[in-house]
Amino acid sequence: MNQENLAIISNEKTQNINNKVFCDNIDMKSVPEGLSQNFNVELFLRKSKVERISHQINLKKIFLSGSILTFLLKIWNRSAKHKKYLVISLSPYTFFACLLLFILKKRVYLYLRSDGYEEYRCYSKIFGPIIYHVMFAISSKITNLIVCRSHLLRKKTGFVVSPSQLNDKWFSKRKEPNLNQIKILYIGRIKKEKGIFSFLNLIKKIEENIKIKIINSEKKYDKRLDSKNVEIINFENKNDSIIEVYDDHNVFILPSFTEAHPQVLDESLARLRPVIIFPEISHVKRDREGVFVAERKAESLVKVIGFIMKNYFEIQKKMIKNNLPTKKAFLNEISKIIKNEKSK
């Protein structure tokens, strides 16, 4: 049986090292690779000047571009081969790609993984949301929306999916926590909107003996991370060994100012490690056990950490009942949407 062709387009920055393409975001590896089981996939991405060696993308046809002009030209040059496109995230690059594909009369699915309004507000409080609003207003009329949270549809019609990277390994051979010391883990990009600098400023005001490990996917030094309590690791292979990293800590911190469906939250919950978030993203808690909301104040953070450490095993008993989404189910769901087998 012949497979359909599918072009996947993303704003994700990647790097080509010895004809191997690497990215920071695990989604940009797992989604194209997973969909390649059901489609003939071609992938269009941006080049990065920053070294990124977290995840190698194992696809035969990957097209990298250093400018928005070459990005659009490569999409146009390959357009005769494709009727369907999956565009991941909305940015100037992907917005103009959507316009081009609309002119070419292609069927486009726009997959939004986060709240662009909030992300753009981090760059410019006034102009950021305006820019995103214009892109979203136009794109939502010329594409089929797929989102990971229903509020991202902004009253538009679309599909809601449950992204996940979890397979059977995440739920097996769980390790007992060491509660002799508070060990907090952060995994993510070192960006302002991720709230990591805000969190570290809070930690500096706390006298408790707390160890913090930051897993950073970019080989990029930032002096704002300097602290005697902080260990920074440039993680190069976020697969099986990352499970051991979760297990070696007893609390996960997700200090972001904006999130839609953070994968690291479900990963931590799968390993029965409680998660602390802040009010700006309280919506990601939903009905999940083991997620605690602290105010962005030192005294509130200390109180929440203390509660978790004191009631750790009772919290874990409740966390076992969490019904977490799986990677297999997510890929099946998004494949059915693209094949037009699932109704809105």
Comparing 123 with 158, the larger pLDDT belongs to 158
Pair (265, 332) in one structural domain: no
Predicted confidence band of residue 30 (pLDDT cuts 50, 70, 90): very high
Residue 284 pLDDT: 92
Q: What is the pLDDT of residue 217?
A: 63
In terms of domains, do 21 and 111 share one?
yes
Per-residue pLDDT tens digits for 76-129: 999 999 999 999 999 999 999 999 999 999 999 999 988 877 778 777 778 888
pLDDT of residue 41: 97
- Does 161 have pLDDT greater than 70? yes
Task: Give the model confidence (pLDDT) of 170-210 as tens digits.
Answer: 999 999 999 999 999 999 888 888 999 999 999 988 888 89
* Residue 267 sits in the same domain as residue 185: yes
Whether 241 is in a domain gets the answer yes
Residue 89 sits in the same domain as residue 124? yes
* Any domain includes 127: yes
Average pLDDT of 315-323? 97
Q: Cα–chain-centroid distance for residue 12? A: 11
112: domain CATH number is 3.40.50.2000
Q: Kindly state whether residue 179 falls inside one of the protein's structural domains.
A: yes
Whether the CB-CB separation of 319 and 266 falls below 8 Å is answered with: no
Q: Would 216 be classed as within a structural domain?
A: yes
Instruction: Please state, rounded to an integer, the average pLDDT across all residues of the chain.
Output: 90
Q: Is 343 within a domain?
A: no
- Whether residues 102 and 234 share a domain: the answer is no
Q: Is 259 found in the same domain as 116?
A: no
Burial of 85 (0-12, 13-18, 19+ CB in 10 A): buried
| Residue 160 buriedness (CB in 10 A; 0-12 / 13-18 / 19+) | middle
Residues 257 and 154 in one domain: no
pLDDT of residue 52: 60
> Is 200 among the domain residues?
yes
β-pairing verdict for 55-56 and 107-112: unpaired
Q: Mean pLDDT over residues 210-214, rounded?
A: 93
In this structure, the answer to whether residues 14 and 111 fall within a common structural domain is yes
Residue 222 has pLDDT above 80, yes or no: no
Residue 344 domain flag: no
How many domains is the chain built from? 2
pLDDT beyond 70 at 221: no
In terms of pLDDT, which residue wins out, 144 or 204?
144
Residues 156 and 62 in one domain: yes
Query: By residue range, what is the domain housing residue 125?
Result: 4-164+327-338
Asked which of 46-60, 106-120, 129-143 is least confident by mean pLDDT, the reply is 46-60
Q: What is the pLDDT of residue 53?
A: 58
Q: Does 173 share its domain with 315?
A: yes
132 and 40 co-located in one domain: yes
Q: Are residues 174 and 303 in the same domain?
A: yes
pTM above 0.85, yes or no: no
